[in-house]
Amino acid sequence: MSYAAVVGLPSLLNLRNASSCSSDNNVSRNQGSGGDGGGEDPYPNQYGKLVTVPSYKWRMVIAYDGTRFSGWQYQQSPPTIQCIVEKALTRITKQERSDLQLVGASRTDTGVHAWGQVAHFVTPFNYDCLDSIHAALNGLLPSDIRVREISPAVPEFHARFSAKSKIYHYKIYNDKIMDPFQRHYAYHSVYKLNPDVMREAAKHFIGKHDFSSFVNVSRNDRSRDPVKNIFRFDILEMGPLLQLEVEGSGFLYRQVRNMVALLLQIGREAIPPDVVPNILATQDRKELAKFALSAPPHGLCLVSVNYSEEHLRLPTGCPATSFGRHHSISKCKLLFF
């Protein structure tokens, strides 16, 4: 959907003010020349005449420590990642929240982390360079949220619906004593786990299945097709740390944490690996509850969201991707150390 169709008449006033934005943000004065990076839609102005409102879409890759946040999805209290990012964007772009239309690829839950969350937003103006807005965003955001990349996106790109696959990692620290430096990012299992039987069980998740047995009661905005395709489910051993890596076409509410919880029980050798296909076949969440509860959220991290090359191509007439920039000085001002 184009920007003008989404935001309507109030944004015409914002567009009029866009040309007076600070030059520090490198806002392009040529607002209608975005190549295929921008679109224009007719909309009646206050006098009834049709005017065109250009729109430009921007893609961000965001990393965050989810420890103190209530997940991604917008809410003001307690704070969420989307809420904090939107506040920074509204200050920098001078646009309203409804105009920005910020959308995230994955609605991570309370306490879940991300290295490769993807989101997009729109503006009624183009940028000549993205380095300044990138630096400004990270300057306003708290230190546990970072924008790793920001780039122009083609109109067809959608952070959520264009995704081909998502990769999640779940970390388990399997030792008698917990590493205090891992306590916010790995689940501590005091039971000795057998990685081999966990791998055997994880193979049963691979392929296209109805995962109704592994989804918690859905929220109203989380209605999903229960059939998902799991492309791989690997278990890596790194000393006392077990890293469970799962890639799939998509995941249901708490699906990954529920799969991990069952694998933990299997790794403790409390139940056999062949219980997985039996639970899948029932398509009943109550069946899983007989064996395991959800694994804690702090061990889970959204590592990456993958898209087709067509959706990731850079539109013409738009600035290059910003990966951040180094500060530099002309000469060393500290002569002695």
Dump the DSSP string for 252-310.
-TTHHHHHHHHHHHHHTTSS-TTHHHHHHHHT-HHHHHTT-PPPPGGGEEEEEEE--HH
Residue range of the domain that includes 191? 163-303
Choice between 241 and 337, residue whose per-residue pLDDT is larger = 241
Instruction: Give residue 114's pLDDT band: very low, low, confident or very high (50, 70, 90).
Output: very high
CB atoms within 10 A of CB 220: 5
Query: Looking at the structure, do residues 167 and 295 belong to the same domain, yes or no?
Result: yes
How many folded domains does the chain comprise? 2
pLDDT digits 0-9 by tens, 289-312: 999 999 999 999 999 999 999 999
Burial grade of 48 (CB within 10 A; 0-12, 13-18, 19 or more): exposed
Rounded mean pLDDT, 163-178: 97
Query: Looking at the structure, do residues 288 and 183 belong to the same domain, yes or no?
Result: yes
Please indicate whether residue 109 is annotated as part of the active site.
Answer: yes
Task: Tell me the two tokens of residue 271.
Answer: 């139940």
CA 59 and chain centroid, separation: 11
Q: Is residue 146 part of a domain?
A: yes
Choice between 36 and 264, residue whose per-residue pLDDT is larger = 264
Write down the pLDDT at residue 329.
73
Query: Looking at the structure, do residues 176 and 287 belong to the same domain, yes or no?
Result: yes
Q: Is residue 30 part of a domain?
A: no
pLDDT digits 0-9 by tens, 56-111: 999 999 999 999 999 999 887 789 999 999 999 999 999 999 999 999 999 999 99
Q: Is residue 119 part of a domain?
A: yes
Rounded mean pLDDT, 235-252: 97
pLDDT digits 0-9 by tens, 272-284: 999 999 999 999 9
Instruction: Give residue 39's pLDDT band: very low, low, confident or very high (50, 70, 90).
Output: low
Active-site annotation holder among 36, 41, 99, 109: 109
Query: Looking at the structure, do residues 204 and 256 belong to the same domain, yes or no?
Result: yes
Instruction: Give residue 236's pLDDT band: very low, low, confident or very high (50, 70, 90).
Output: very high
Distance (Å, rounded) from C-alpha 69 to C-alpha 81? 7
Write down the pLDDT at residue 27.
56
Burial grade of 95 (CB within 10 A; 0-12, 13-18, 19 or more): buried
Rounded mean pLDDT, 213-219: 80
Q: Point out the least confidently predicted range of 38-52, 71-85, 113-127.
A: 38-52
pLDDT digits 0-9 by tens, 253-279: 999 999 999 999 999 999 999 999 999
What CA–CA distances, in Å, run from 85 to 43, 63, 103, 142, 171? 29, 11, 11, 10, 26
Q: Is residue 41 part of a domain?
A: no
Q: What is the CATH number of the domain that holds 234?
A: 3.30.70.660
Residue 10 pLDDT exceeds 60: no
Rounded mean pLDDT, 156-185: 97
